[in-house]
Amino acid sequence: MKISSYAALQAGEALVPYEYDAGPLAAEDVQVAVDYCGVCHSDLSMIDNEWGGSRYPLIAGHEVIGRVVALGDAAQNKGLHIGQRVGIGWTAKSCQHCDACIEGDQVNCENGKTSTINNHGGFASHLRANWQWVIPLPDALDIATAGPLLCGGITVFKPLLMRNISATSRVGVIGIGGLGHMAIKLLRAMGAHVTAFSSSAAKTDSIKAMGADRVVNSRDPQALSALAGQFDLIISTVAVDLDWKPYYQALARRGAFHTVGAVMKPFEVPAFSLIVGDRALTGSSTGSPGQLRALLKLASRSDIAPQVEAFPMSQVNEALEHLRAGKANYRVVLKADF
């Protein structure tokens, strides 16, 4: 089958129309017609080969909302059916037999494939993925805004599961952008006390409207030092290097500083910042199929929707430049118009 897409032919280049032959549908795979695809900063990183390892032509896009149009022979009777609304996130395939897969940690599969790096992505008319990574959408979920939940949303939801966050937890979120604003909405739904750390005073009212209990100026050393010992968890969503020491000191006993932002410089961690109070510095990637299903159920039940701006997919380069310039409010979603 021929699939239409928009691809980067070389690192950093504008995307161009690109058609490829997907070949026969693999037994474990599902073919999904793309209706919407979120644009993530990771797409820019992959297009620009910022992390190394990108292969071209590269078809980005890993926050797909679409419809099942074909099922491989071994994907039959797996709870999916033709015409069903589904989502596909960062991971497209996993082997189902390595230790990670057997333990339900498929996102760390030794032989896995992501939607962008090893598998053609969702800036396209169609996308293929292993059946277990094709996530059924709850009926009440808004398909026009749900795409970012499949990468940005699960990225900030997973630490909440890892740290057993509940209504009694005190959580801080650094960086209230594409990831951070979803973290606040999820934490609000879970009943936790939420502190947002932001460098933009102009966002204070909108951040509180999302569900933050308080907003702290991340550039004010005195405001940060006043929070010593308060947080069970602090999630950093930023991809820039900061002075992290005040945040380590803001952790409560057995608290954790958790990064999901791809900061390219090493973290400086004074040993006693962790030793005193049994604190931890941790990180995580995206989530398993089970965690993705749990997230979408929570989002549907609690009416959690990412705040998005929409572009037609034919304007994908304009959308990418909008994101690159830091103008996104808060996420960008492409609507397929092939």
Cα torsion angle, 168, 207, 248, 259, sign:
positive
Q: What is the pLDDT of residues 274-322, one digit of tens each?
A: 999 999 999 999 999 999 999 999 999 999 999 999 999 999 999 999 9
pLDDT band, very low/low/confident/very high, at 212 (cuts 50, 70, 90): very high
Measured between alpha carbons, how far is 313 from 33 in angstroms, rounded to an integer?
14
Phi and psi at 304, nearest 5°, equal: -95, 120
Q: What is the pLDDT of residues 107-136, one digit of tens each?
A: 999 887 766 666 799 999 999 999 999 999
pLDDT at 247: 96
Contact 250, 279 (CB under 8 A): no
3-class state of residue 283 by DSSP: strand
pLDDT band, very low/low/confident/very high, at 202 (cuts 50, 70, 90): confident
Mean pLDDT across 192-208: 93
pLDDT at 117: 63
First to last CA, the chain: 15
pLDDT at 110: 82
pLDDT band, very low/low/confident/very high, at 200 (cuts 50, 70, 90): confident
Q: What is the pLDDT of residues 79-116, one digit of tens each?
A: 999 999 999 999 999 999 999 999 999 999 988 776 66
pLDDT at 116: 64
Measured between alpha carbons, how far is 302 from 189 in angstroms, rounded to an integer?
6
Has residue 264 got a pLDDT over 90?
no
Has residue 35 got a pLDDT over 80?
yes
Stronger pLDDT, 189 or 115, i.e. the higher one: 189
Contact 37, 65 (CB under 8 A): yes
Contact 4, 21 (CB under 8 A): no
Mean pLDDT across 193-221: 93
Measured between alpha carbons, how far is 216 from 224 in angstroms, rounded to an integer?
8
Contact 44, 63 (CB under 8 A): no
Could you tell me which of 326, 156, 157 has the C-alpha nearest to residue 240? 326
Q: What is the pLDDT of residues 216-228, one digit of tens each?
A: 999 898 999 999 9
Has residue 71 got a pLDDT over 90?
yes
